[in-house]
Amino acid sequence: MSHGLPEPTPVAPAEIVTITDARSRFGSLVRRAAQVIITDHGQAAAAIISAAELEDLEDRLAIAQYEIEKANGTLRTVPHEEAQCRLGFTE
């Protein structure tokens, strides 16, 4: 059950490269905008993902946090009139 979350975009498996390899291929790895896991002494140390994928992850996290707060009864909201005031739409 998705609980209102958008379905994740399918992605190809991440390419795994060493720090040394990533250093020499950094530009091409970034331009490809595919998932890349960079390892340091055989351990995952960092990842490269596309900006679109990062945005998708951030959106999914925000929705999940909203759903949790809503389910727990801890969701904080701002009344419409107050939001208009804060945004400078009313006097």
56-79 pLDDT, tens digit each: 999 999 999 999 999 999 999 989
DSSP string, 15-81: EEEEHHHHHHHHHHHHHHT--EEEEETTEEEEEE--HHHHHHHHHHHHHHHHHHHHHHT------HH
2-18 average pLDDT score: 71
Same domain, 33 and 17: yes
Q: Report whether 10 contacts 2 (CB < 8 A).
A: no
Structure tokens at 45: 């140390």
In a domain, 61, yes or no: yes
The pTM is what? Answer: 0.63
Q: What is the pLDDT of residue 66?
A: 94
- pLDDT per residue over 23-39, tens digit each? 999 999 988 878 999 99
Provide the domain limits for residue 87. Answer: 56-91
Co-location of 60 and 91 in the same domain: yes
Question: What tokens does 3 get?
Answer: 């609980």
Q: Which residue has the tokens 């945005």?
A: 55
**Within this chain, do residues 35 and 60 fall inside the same structural domain, yes or no?**
no
6 in a structural domain: no
In this structure, are 88 and 60 located in the same domain?
yes
Task: Examine residue 3 and state whether it is found in any structural domain, yes or no.
Answer: no
